[in-house]
Chain A
Amino acid sequence: MALKTETMILNMGPQHPSTHGVLRLELELDGELIVNVKPHIGYLHRCFEKHAEAMSYPQVIPYTDRMDYLASMYNNFGYVIAVEKLLGIQVPERVEYIRVIMGELQRIASHLVAIGTNGLDIGAFTPFLYLFRDREKILSLFEMTCGARLLYNYMWVGGLSHDIHPDFVRLTKEFINYFRPTITELNNLLTFNKIFIERTANIGVLPLDTAINYGVTGPSLRGSGLAFDIRKEDTYSIYDRFDFEIPVGQGLVGTVGDSWDRYYVRILEMEQSLRIIEQAIDQIPDGDVKAAIPKRIKPPKGTVYTRVENPRGELGYFIISDGNLNPFRVKVRAPSFVNLEVFGELCKGHLVADVIAILGSIDIVLGEVDR
C-alpha cells in the first residue's frame, strides 16, 4: 500500500541568483519532483502604459528601451516602425540599413547574455566571462554610435539620433571576422560539453502543439521545430532584401524541443545575424539620417499594430491615437511574458535543479514581463 504523503511548497525568489531578475516561483514538490510551478510576477512593474499615456510620441522611446533592457535597440525599432506606420512616413534607405545592422548586432549581444547566463546558472562560469568579453565589443560599437552602452534611445521616429561614425563600417567588419571563430570556440567550450548536454538534453521538452497553444514565439518556438520568424513571415523594414535562414531545433543530442535545442537555436541565429550584417554593411547608401524626422509628431486618429522579431520572440506594439500629441494607449505584446506562461508546463515531473536549466533556456527578461 502506498504511503499517503503531502506535497511541499518551496519558495524561489524574488532574490535568487538564477531567476534572471525578480521573478518569484512557487514550486509544489513531491519529494524532489516538481508537481506544479506558479510564477509570481509584478516585482518590476514600472508602469509603461501609464507613462506612454502621459508622454508625447518621441518621449515614449526611452521607456521602450527600459522594457527589454537586453535588446533596447530592437524595442526602439518596433515602436518607431509603429509610429511611422501611423504617420504614414517613409524613412530614407540609409536609415533602414543602419537600423537593420544595429538590430542584428543587438540580437547577437542579447543572445550572448542569454547563453552566458544559461551556462552560469547550470554551473559553467568560464563561458560567461568569454561571452561578456565579446559582448563588450558590440557595446563599444554602439557607444561609438550613440554614446550609450545599454539603453540607447537611438532610433527616432523618422530617423536616427546620430549618424554612424566614419570608422563604424571598418570596425564592424573587424568584429565579424573576430566573432565567427569565437562561435566555434563557444561550441567546443559549452555547447558540446558533456556535462552541459547531460543537464539540458531531454530536459523541459516543449512539444510543438503545446508551444503553439500557449503562443510561444522566438527561439523557444523555433527550438520546437517550427521555422516561424517575423522577419520572414511578416517582413518589415528591409529584411526581404537579405539572404538568411531560420534555424530550428532538430534534437541533435536529445528530443526536439528540449532545453539544449532552444539553446542551440540561439547559437545558429547568431551566425545568421552575422550573415545579415555582412550583406547590409557593404550596401549602406549615402544620405541624411534625420531627413524624415517631423517637427511635431501628431498622428491622425486611428490604431496600428506592428510586430517585429525581438531576440526573445514576437514583440508587438498596439497604438491608439486620438489625434493628440500623446498616444491614447500603447499596448505591448511582450514575448517574455507570453513565453513565461508555458514555463509551468515544462517543469512538471522534473527535478528542482532542472527548473533553472529550463528557465535559462526560455530566456526571459523581467523588465519586459512586468513592463
Chain B
Amino acid sequence: MGLLDKEFSDGNVVIAKVDDLFNWARLSSVWQLGFGLACCAIEMMATSASHYDFDRFGVIPRNTPRQADAIIISGTVTLKMATRIKRLYEQIPDPKYIISMGSCANCGGPYWEHGYHVLKGIDRVIPVDVYVPGCPPRPEALLEGLLKLQEKIRNESLRKKTV
C-alpha cells in the first residue's frame, strides 16, 4: 500500500468512464431498507450478522426509504402488506433495486394454492431485479443474489433508463 500512496501523493489523474465510475460507486454501497417481513427476515438478519457479514459488500440497513437504494423483500407478502410495500418502493429515490428473497416473495411459495391472503409474487406489485429461490434461502444464496445485482448495476449505463 505504501507504493500506492506514493503514486497518488503528487496529484495524479485517474481516467475512467463516467458510467464505470458511477456504477462502481453504486454497486459498492447498496444500502438496503431495513425491513423484514417473515421467516426470510431471520435469514437476512443472520446474513448481516457476524458469520456472513453483509457489510463487507457495502450493504448497510437504512431505516428510512429515503436513504435506501434497495429493498430485500424477505418473506411472504400479504395483500394487506402489498399496498404498504408499494408505497415504500415509491418513496425510494432512483435508481432503486429490488431483491425478491425466498419462494413466498417470488411466487407465493407454500401458500400458492390456499393462501387467500397471500400475494402470489411481489413482481405483481413492483418490478424485481433479482430473484433468490429457497424457503428460506441460505445466507450464501442471498449473498449470491447480491452479487448478481452488483453484476446488473455494473452493466448499466447513464443513458439508459435505470428502472
Contacts and interface: CB of A to CB of B under 8 A. Distances in A.
A132 B81 contact: no
A44 interface: yes
A17 B111 CA distance: 26
A139 B47 CA distance: 13
Nearest 3 A-B pairs (CB), nearest first? A132-B49, A69-B39, A129-B50
Contacts of A130: 50
Nearest to A69: B39
Interface in B104-161: 110-111, 113-118, 135-136, 138
Given A15-B84, A21-B37, A66-B110, A47 B42 contact: no
B60 interface: no
Given A133-B50, A151-B39, A45 B45 contact: no
Nearest to A41: B80
Sort chain B's interface into a size bin: 35 or more
Contacts of A47: 111, 114-118
A15 B38 CA distance: 12
Contact of B38 (A44, A128, A149): A44
A367 interface: yes
Given A21-B36, A46-B117, A149-B138, A69 B78 contact: no
Contacts of B57: none
Contact of A43 (B41, B81, B113): B81
Contacts of B76: 44, 46
A150 B42 contact: yes
Nearest to B36: A21
Contacts, number: 98
A17 B50 contact: no
Given A43-B81, A46-B76, A151-B135, A132 B50 contact: yes
Interface of A: 14-17, 21-22, 42-47, 50-51, 54, 62-63, 66, 69-70, 113, 128-130, 132-133, 135-136, 139, 149-151, 366-367
A47 B110 CA distance: 11
B97 to A, nearest CB: 17
Contact of A45 (B33, B41, B117): B117
Contacts of A16: 63
A132 B53 CA distance: 11
Nearest to B91: A15
A119 to B, nearest CB: 13
A44 to B, nearest CB: 6
B42 A70 contact: yes
Given A45-B80, A149-B138, A51 B115 contact: yes
Contacts of B114: 47, 50-51, 54
B51 A136 contact: yes
Contacts of B39: 66, 69, 150-151, 367
Contacts of A128: 49
A86 to B, nearest CB: 22
Contacts of B36: 21-22
Contacts of A150: 39, 42-43, 136
10 contacts: A15-B88, A43-B78, A44-B38, A44-B75, A46-B117, A51-B114, A66-B39, A129-B50, A149-B43, A150-B136
Nearest to A20: B36
